[in-house]
Amino acid sequence: MLEDKLLIWKLKCGNRDALCLLYEKYKDTLRTIAGSMLRDSHAAEDVLHDVFVAFAEKAGQFRIRTNLKGYLITCLVNRVRDEFRRKHPQMIELDKAGQIGSDADCPESRIRAKELSRVLTDALAAIPFEQREVIVLHLNGGLKFREIAKVQQASISTVHGRYRYGLKKLRTILNGELEK
C-alpha cells in the first residue's frame, strides 16, 4: 500500500512511468476478473483500459482511503456492470470468453484442462449475475466479503448468502455435468 501511495504521488507529479508500473502490477488480476465476468477477452481488455484511462485522468484528485487494488476492482466491476446494461438490458449473455490456459506440456492434459475450463465457464455463466460476481471477486479478485459488500452496495450477510448459494448452484450444475 505504501508503494501504491508513492506511485500515485509520482503520477500526480507527472511521472508516466508510475502509471505503467501500476498498470503492470494490477492488470492481470483486473483482466482475470473482467474476463470471468464478461467472458469476452476483447471486452475485458477494453474495460481494463477504460479503468486505467479514467484513473489516470483523475490522478490529480485521487486519494487512497483504502487499498488501491480494491479501488481499481470496484471501478472495474462498475464498468463491467455498465457494459452489461448497455449490451444486454435484460439478459446477461456470457458466451465469448477465452478459455483458461494450462501449464501442462502433454496434449492430453491440455485437452482435459480445456474441457474442464469450458465446463466451469459454462457452469459459472448459468448462475445469477450477483452470485457470479461475488464468487469471481472473492476467488479471482481476492476481495474480502466486506469489500464485496461495498462494491455491490449490499450487506455482508447478503454477500455471504450470494456466495454460498452460488457455490451450491455451481456444485449442482457441475455434479450433473460430470455425471453425463
* Cell numbers representing residue 50 in the block: 477504460
Same domain, 11 and 71: yes
Same domain, 59 and 83: yes
Same domain, 3 and 77: yes
Cα dihedral sign, 60-63-69-74:
negative
d(CA 49, CA 143): 21
Q: Which residues contact 83 (CB under 8 A, 6 or more apart)?
A: 38, 43, 47
pLDDT digits (tens, 9 = 90+) for 140-169: 788 889 988 988 889 999 999 999 999 999
The CATH number of whichever domain residue 137 belongs to comes to 1.10.10.10
* Cell numbers representing residue 14 in the block: 507527472
* Cell numbers representing residue 87 in the block: 449490451
* 72-73-75-81 Cα dihedral, nearest 10 degrees: 160
Same domain, 16 and 82: yes
Domain that holds residue 155: 99-180
Domains held by the chain: number: 2
Nearest to 150 by CA among 79, 82, 71: 71
Lowest mean per-residue pLDDT among 15-19, 115-119, 127-131: 115-119
pLDDT digits (tens, 9 = 90+) for 23-42: 999 999 898 888 888 777 88
The CATH number of whichever domain residue 32 belongs to comes to 1.10.1740.10
Q: What is the mean pLDDT of residues 91-95?
A: 40
* Cell numbers representing residue 11 in the block: 503520477
Q: What is the mean pLDDT of residues 65-79?
A: 82
Same domain, 66 and 81: yes
Q: What is the 3-state secondary structure (H, E, C) of 98-160?
A: CCCCCCCCCHHHHHHHHHHHHHHHHHHHCCCHHHHHHHHHHHCCCCCHHHHHHHHCCCHHHHH
Same domain, 173 and 105: yes
Could you tell me the pTM of the whole model? 0.60
Q: Which residues contact 86 (CB under 8 A, 6 or more apart)?
A: none
Same domain, 37 and 119: no
Same domain, 87 and 147: no
Same domain, 84 and 132: no
Same domain, 56 and 83: yes
d(CA 153, CA 159): 10
Same domain, 18 and 90: yes
Which residue, 40, 65, 97, sits at the end of a domain? 97
Same domain, 88 and 122: no
Q: What is the mean pLDDT of the chain?
A: 79
